[in-house]
Structure 1
Amino acid sequence: MMKFLTPVLAALTIGSKMCIACSLHEGPTGNLQPSIDKVLEYVRSQHSASNVTTSIKNVRVFDGHDMTEPQTIFIANGKVTSRLPHEKADMEVDGTGKYLIPGLIDSHIHIDTVDTLELLSSYGVTTGMNMVCRNYTLCSALAEVTGLAQYLTATAGATIAGTGSPILGSTDNAIYPGDNVTNYVDDQFFSGSPAMWLKVVAQPGEDGLTQEQMNELTMAAHKLGYYSVTHATYLETFAKAVKSKTDILQHMSGDKALPKSLIQEIISNKQIVTPTMAIFRVGTNQPLLQEILRQGANGTANFTTVSENVRALYQAGIPLLAGTDSAAVPQLNISMPYGLALHCELQYLVEAGLTTCEALRAATVVPASTQRLFGRGKIAPGFRADLILLNSNPLFNISNTRDIVKVWTAGIESKHVTRNLTQQCSALNIVPLA
């Protein structure tokens, strides 16, 4: 059953159990109080919901398979509706010659600031699945921001103590040899925790979690009603993740081709894959990422190998989710481009064999249905009004997802949008932080 998030202002003042648990998950992430204060300031400045009703007239709508004939879409109380409470909408938008698609879901991202949520919204990314919670107080705050991309989060990464990285996050509350992993999972989902799924990190040989521990972590999450995802970036760790029966495999084998027997096991386990092709594309020219993606494996993580593996999974009928692994790492003065990277991920998926429709589904209806994101991912009455109005048809060319006119997040129009058709995804790269 989907877990309901606790309102942030209540969560920050909850009883001693919350305080103790938060202290376990703070980690050496520096002084986060300014970030938390900024989130709370933003939350207080927003209305809890928009009272503005909107009609988008004469627009073609992506129905999950094709573009419909021109029609009118109504928005009221943050949702798509079949009729408005009043005869005329507060705001009317002419959609003639334009195309409406659901807001995009980045199924693997790392978010630490309100500014990131605003940037994602400007690119039409209306949901961000945060893959490591470094600080549960900050994560609770970010989950309550209205009018920007919605922030949903994993737990801290389950890994063996001392084996973390600047991108994977702190290991201060990680697992030690002999620890009861069931108790570890219980601790991640304490009362008031914003975490909605368990994050596990597969690492090589004796340095990482054992196969038995990984299996137990997944089973413990399932017993509590949560699903699990597992980080794995080359064949050895990817195989361990598959055998653990984790629900979603994060990343891809970047060093070797996936054996047919392993692909069949993924099918048998009914697992899903978020290949994060964008991070491998960037990693080709970034030494730090190469080290992290390889984690001691022989040979270099190869984008061609990743693409071929994605093609093999696609041809086998395995569900694929669009995710980028976008992250800002201040201590290393680098940032994976937020927002733009997801549009490039769609392009990479098409290059790996998916149709434009299938790539668009990988960022809308498929992640919504497989990650328990009820009421989003498609445009229908009763669903969240997470919408992108485009000048051009993305089913003709997937890069047209960047030809943005307007964006709505839960019915609230974004103040800024990014129309970016000039950036070449083949040149996507790590950029210095401002």
Structure 2
Amino acid sequence: MSPSLLIKDVRIFDGENEIPNGSVLVENGLIKYVSPGSLEATDESTIVLSKPGYTLIPGIIDGHVHTHLDKENTGLAQSLKFGVTTACDMHQEAEDVAAVREEAARNPDISDFKTSSSAATVLGGWPAAVVTAFDTSEETLAKVATWPNLQTLDDVEAYIQDRIKDKADYIKLMHEDGSSLSVKPTVPPLELQKAIVDAAHRHGFVAVAHSLSLQGTLDILRAGVDGLTHTFCDKPPTKELIDAYLANNAHCNPTLATIGSLTTEGKKEQEAYAHDPRVEKLLSAHGKAALCECMAFSSDSARVEYAYQSVREMRAAGIDIILGSDSAGPARGTGFGITAHHELALLVKKCGFTPKEALRSATSLVAKRLRFHDRGRIAEGLRADLVLVEGNPLEDIDHTLDLRGVWKQGILCSTYKDLVA
């Protein structure tokens, strides 16, 4: 059991609102008390941090990653260093789910782990088409062959039952028609997609879906999904799109940084982050090099500005935008943890969000839309997933990278051990 922790004399963004000067008491991994003003510890064993000029925010929830089991839990470990206390995996090898979840629960130095387990894939569909376009090794082909690859309506209930056995946190569909890409996957029939969404809802799951095209997004929204795990970049947004989102009360996780890597238009920004001294110290040489590269397999018509425009129009219409990076080991131009900060900056600088709106999209709103009721806010009784930054990210979103402390369930990430030395 970790000692109690009192963080006081700080600005607090609680996931919804700002307390200009306040204190937070943590006990047994949970937030015990949130108060305006300065508190004093009543127990001499309590760790006390007084940090005027600093801001305390909820742990960032990255609503879209692809992390895989490896010896060092590289993706989850790097995510936590950057203040991502919960990483939401959006397609995972089913046989690895239990081991990754158990390690995340045991290890205080890696992010907590949420997952769809295996997405509802079809033969030749996404992401098999892109994976095998760049990697035809026997190992990769064997892995892809184990994916669900649904074919008929009779396969749907078995797929959902497998996700129940995996204790999946939500259901992920794939609906990629390739209009934004140089790769052209097989598109699942809409009858099948609707059956998956209906079955997910019957069993109490949130259903989210991948699509990078305008038409694909419209089609999968009409199949009833609760949210999209990307916006699109092949065409400008339309009123029809806004109406389809509103009809479902659906959310969007736009993955703007990833789309910038896809079209190569984000390369300059990626390189700037890779060479930022605040970032370099938390990246491996391989991670830095990968951040400076681009995926570069978009179609000739794809433009990242279409993605920005779609988010601006969705925001204006009151559609919930949640943060997710789509970070993955093979995804050039992304980096676990750091791309979440890049995404925050793009929401503010390209899409008209206030810093407060962007921070909400990365904390309380992700938790609300994915139904994580124990996190996402600094509130009594919730998990003490906390991030301390120097400066005021409510005025300048860039301050989210001035990281000074990260706690998962009240335990300080060892990267920041000097904070309490």
Task: State the TM bucket, normalised to the shorter chain.
Answer: 0.7 to 0.9
Give yes or no for the alignment of 1:58 onto 2:9. Answer: yes
Counterpart of 1:348, as a letter, is: L
Counterpart of 2:80 in structure 1 is 121
Give yes or no for the alignment of 1:157 onto 2:115. Answer: no
Report the Cα distance in structure 2 between the residues aligned to 1:242 and 1:94, rounded to whole angstroms.
48
Counterpart of 2:147 in structure 1 is 173
Counterpart of 2:408 in structure 1 is 409
Report the Cα distance in structure 1 between the residues aligned to 2:261 and 2:149, rounded to whole angstroms.
30
Aligned length: 359
Instruction: Give 1:235 deviation, angstroms.
Output: 1.3
Closer, same or farther: CA 415–379 of 1 in aligned 2, 3 Å: same
Match for residue 217 of structure 1 among 196, 210, 229: 196
The alignment partner of 2:307 has SS state of helix
The alignment partner of 1:137 has SS state of helix
1:152-188, Cα deviation, whole Å (9 max, x unpaired):
0013121221231455982533335435242343343
Counterpart of 2:156 in structure 1 is 182
Counterpart of 2:174 in structure 1 is 201
1:113-143, Cα deviation, whole Å (9 max, x unpaired):
4222111111001010000012x23221111
Instruction: Give 1:51 deviation, angstroms.
Output: 2.4
CA contact (8 A) 2:234 2:303 kept: yes
Trace 1:263-342 onto structure 2 (pairs within 5 A).
263-285=242-264, 289-291=295-297, 299-329=300-330, 334=332, 336-342=334-340
Report the Cα distance in structure 1 between the residues aligned to 2:234 and 2:295, rounded to whole angstroms.
14
CA contact (8 A) 2:148 2:159 kept: no
The alignment partner of 1:80 has SS state of strand
- What is the RMSD computed on CA atoms of the aligned residues? 2.5
Counterpart of 1:375, as a letter, is: D
Report the Cα distance in structure 2 between the residues aligned to 1:243 and 1:220, rounded to whole angstroms.
15
Counterpart of 1:35 in structure 2 is none
Counterpart of 2:95 in structure 1 is 137
Give yes or no for the alignment of 1:97 onto 2:59. Answer: no
Report the Cα distance in structure 2 between the residues aligned to 1:119 and 1:288, rounded to whole angstroms.
20
Instruction: Give 1:246 deviation, angstroms.
Output: 0.6
Give yes or no for the alignment of 1:73 onto 2:74. Answer: no
Counterpart of 1:47 in structure 2 is none
CA contact (8 A) 2:83 2:387 kept: yes
Report the Cα distance in structure 2 between the residues aligned to 1:371 and 1:58, rounded to whole angstroms.
32
Counterpart of 1:94, as a letter, is: S
CA contact (8 A) 2:8 2:23 kept: yes
CA contact (8 A) 2:5 2:26 kept: yes
Report the Cα distance in structure 2 between the residues aligned to 1:401 and 1:165, rounded to whole angstroms.
36
The alignment partner of 2:24 has SS state of strand
Report the Cα distance in structure 2 between the residues aligned to 1:314 and 1:103, rounded to whole angstroms.
23
Report the Cα distance in structure 2 between the residues aligned to 1:171 and 1:266, rounded to whole angstroms.
33
CA contact (8 A) 2:75 2:329 kept: no
Closer, same or farther: CA 194–85 of 1 in aligned 2, 3 Å: farther
Counterpart of 2:67, as a letter, is: I
Task: With the length of structure 1 as denominator, give the TM-score of the two structures.
Answer: 0.77
Give yes or no for the alignment of 1:356 onto 2:312. Answer: no
Report the Cα distance in structure 2 between the residues aligned to 1:276 and 1:171, rounded to whole angstroms.
27
CA contact (8 A) 1:254 1:306 kept: yes
CA contact (8 A) 1:181 1:213 kept: no
Instruction: Give 1:289 deviation, angstroms.
Output: 3.6
Instruction: Give 1:390 deviation, angstroms.
Output: 1.0
Report the Cα distance in structure 2 between the residues aligned to 1:288 and 1:216, rounded to whole angstroms.
36
Counterpart of 2:214 in structure 1 is 235
Report the Cα distance in structure 2 between the residues aligned to 1:59 and 1:213, rounded to whole angstroms.
51
CA contact (8 A) 1:63 1:379 kept: yes
Report the Cα distance in structure 2 between the residues aligned to 1:272 and 1:210, rounded to whole angstroms.
23
CA contact (8 A) 1:155 1:188 kept: no
Instruction: Give 1:335 deviation, angstroms.
Output: 6.6
Instruction: Give 1:411 deviation, angstroms.
Output: 0.5
Counterpart of 2:340, as a letter, is: L
5+ long unaligned stretches in structure 1:
1-49, 419-434
1:220-253, Cα deviation, whole Å (9 max, x unpaired):
1111111111000011211111111111111111
Trace 1:34-53 onto structure 2 (pairs within 5 A).
50-53=1-4
Closer, same or farther: CA 174–194 of 1 in aligned 2, 3 Å: same
Task: With the length of structure 2 as denominator, give the TM-score of the two structures.
Answer: 0.80
Report the Cα distance in structure 2 between the residues aligned to 1:167 and 1:52, rounded to whole angstroms.
46
